[in-house]
Structure 1
Amino acid sequence: MKENINVKLNNPRDLLIQGCERPWEVAVEPFKVAPHVYYVGNSWVGAYLIETSEGLILIDTTMHNQVYLVLESIRKLGFDPKDIKIILLSHAHYDHCGGLRPIKEYTGAKLYMGKEDEYFLTERPDLIYTEGYAFGSFKPDEYYDDNKSIILGDMTINTLHTPGHTPGTTSFFFDDKDEEGNVYHCGMHGGIGVNTLNDETIQSNGWPISMRDDFLNGLLKVRNMKIDIALGSHPNQTNMLALVDKITDTFNPFFDEFVWGKFIDGRIEMIKKIIETSKLSN
């Protein structure tokens, strides 16, 4: 019986299996999100290419078996992947870091990550959730520092430690300017999923339940930021793929100052419900 590849998958594990075993099913054409920001991820996991005056920055790498899709997307946009100078990792889950080793080796890029996630690589590889798929170990070149911007050419990226989804989850904020001088405030929350914060997962990970408060506090920190273009670490978080067909030379459907707040508010409600219904005690 022939498998129906058009079935819409929702379970993260099924999506991971699809992405690793049938990566062509999750392929999407790259597209421009902001004047110098491009989506080079797939239909499940986000990855973003940022063009600067001195090279490229890549945010997240998707999974090992999808590396060819990321590189092909970058080439389709007219860029050379070997011009990637910096890789920014949002958090150390396989769907975001699985392709990091081959891309880092191919490009020689400098890798930044949250120090608090490094023990996933050294002590708790089970928390990466590779599900047994190919994974190359890696080491960061530098850790994020909320008080130190990451600068490449004319692009400055500010980071903010927003733990919860993982201990080292980091969010990114930067301004992008078009040829007319218009400035767009861009933001990406590094890991918005509450699936790691339920009672069962908190206990199996050996995390303190204070991680939930950390997550909520991080959301409250960023809630009122002025963000013109919200980048989803997964595209469904901000409905990005549904907007692609609306892109024109004069209209950017991702420019919406209200998306960020609505998106963050939704997560605030979710984590508050988890905290309220938890059977664990401090």
Structure 2
Amino acid sequence: MKRLVLALGLLACASAAQAQMPASWTAPTEPFQIADNLYYVGTEGISVFLITTPQGHILIDGAMPTSAKPIEASIAKLGFKLSDVKVLLNTHAHFDHTGGLAELKADTGAQFAASAGDRQALESGKYIGSEDVEAFDFAPVKVDRVLNDGDTVTLGGATLTAHVTPGHTAGCTTWTFPVTIKGEAHQAVLYCSTSVAANRLASKAKGPQYPGIVADYEKTFQRLRSLNGDVFLAPHAEQFGLVEKRARLAAGGPNPFIDPSALQKTVAASEQAFRQALAKQQKAAK
């Protein structure tokens, strides 16, 4: 009965949320290996990553409200057991990255760890500051472990570090972790996001999306400029050139996901877009 109620809730959220979303966000795609124990199991347009270990696996993000079953199918297609997923993580509490988490948690029995700043959104299933917009809703998911900046998650020899980079959401979390590619050690960085998206930075009528959001963006840009990583990953496929890199990887040669300059290029472009959006919203607010 609980599973039926959960499924009905997911469908209700999905019907509204997916109405005007890009088709690629829900389109299934073949899973593939990026590094020795790092796999892509997301949809065509929204990333979900699987980190495998001898003691169980870590799954990062849940994509859209209807994406749980395709994610589970991708895990199985790679030859891994769903029951071996022991930890669920999240980059940020927006429906297009958390929509499948409640179902994935129920199906795997995994423990869910997420930032303190996003806990309210995750457990309410709401876009904080836009709680009245039903299209942003997703199935609530209970946080089993609350993470703060600098906390680590360890399983089977794999250790991920949480870097809280707020703005896009109050608890937006960028993850770093070591990976091995062809016998060489690399540092992966899963960038949370710094886009403005639907956020209000300045609004005379409603106020900001949440108190202190502009200051959070400013601190996050500064923080990300000091972060290092040469395997760049992101929540949306277009944010890290997934389609092109995947094709190049399949063709052989150097692993295209190794790109030491990608993070800083992305952050610089996003900061410029943020300043333009802030100026536009501030002008409108006057």
- TM-score where L is the length of structure 2: 0.82
1:154 and 2:163 equivalent?
no
Distance 1:183 1:130, change over 3 A: farther
CA deviation map 1:100-137 (0-9, x unaligned): 11110111101011222222256683547984599432
Cα distance in structure 2, aligned partners of 1:274 and 1:24: 24
Partner of 2:139: 136
Which residue of 185, 191, 215 corresponds with 1:183? 185
Task: Judge conservation of contact 1:20–1:66 (CA < 8 Å) in 2.
Answer: no
Q: What does residue range 94-113 of structure 1 map to in structure 2 within 5 Å?
A: 94-113=95-114
Which residue of 188, 192, 195 corresponds with 1:193? 195
Distance 1:130 1:184, change over 3 A: farther
Letter in 2 for 1:157: L
Cα distance in structure 2, aligned partners of 1:172 and 1:235: 17
1:276 and 2:279 equivalent?
yes
Aligned residue-pair number = 269
- TM-score where L is the length of structure 1: 0.83
Partner of 1:267: 270
CA deviation map 1:206-250 (0-9, x unaligned): 535631221132122122422111111111101111221111455
Which residue of 172, 175, 179 corresponds with 2:175? 172
Distance 1:124 1:279, change over 3 A: farther
Structure 2: tracts of 5 or more residues without a match: 1-13
Structure 1: tracts of 5 or more residues without a match: 1-12
Q: Percent identity?
A: 26
1:257 and 2:260 equivalent?
yes
Cα distance in structure 2, aligned partners of 1:25 and 1:124: 19
Moved more, 191-200 or 213-222: 191-200
Cα distance in structure 1, aligned partners of 2:89 and 2:204: 26
Letter in 2 for 1:50: I
Distance 1:18 1:186, change over 3 A: farther
Q: CA deviation at 1:251?
A: 2.8
Distance 1:243 1:158, change over 3 A: same
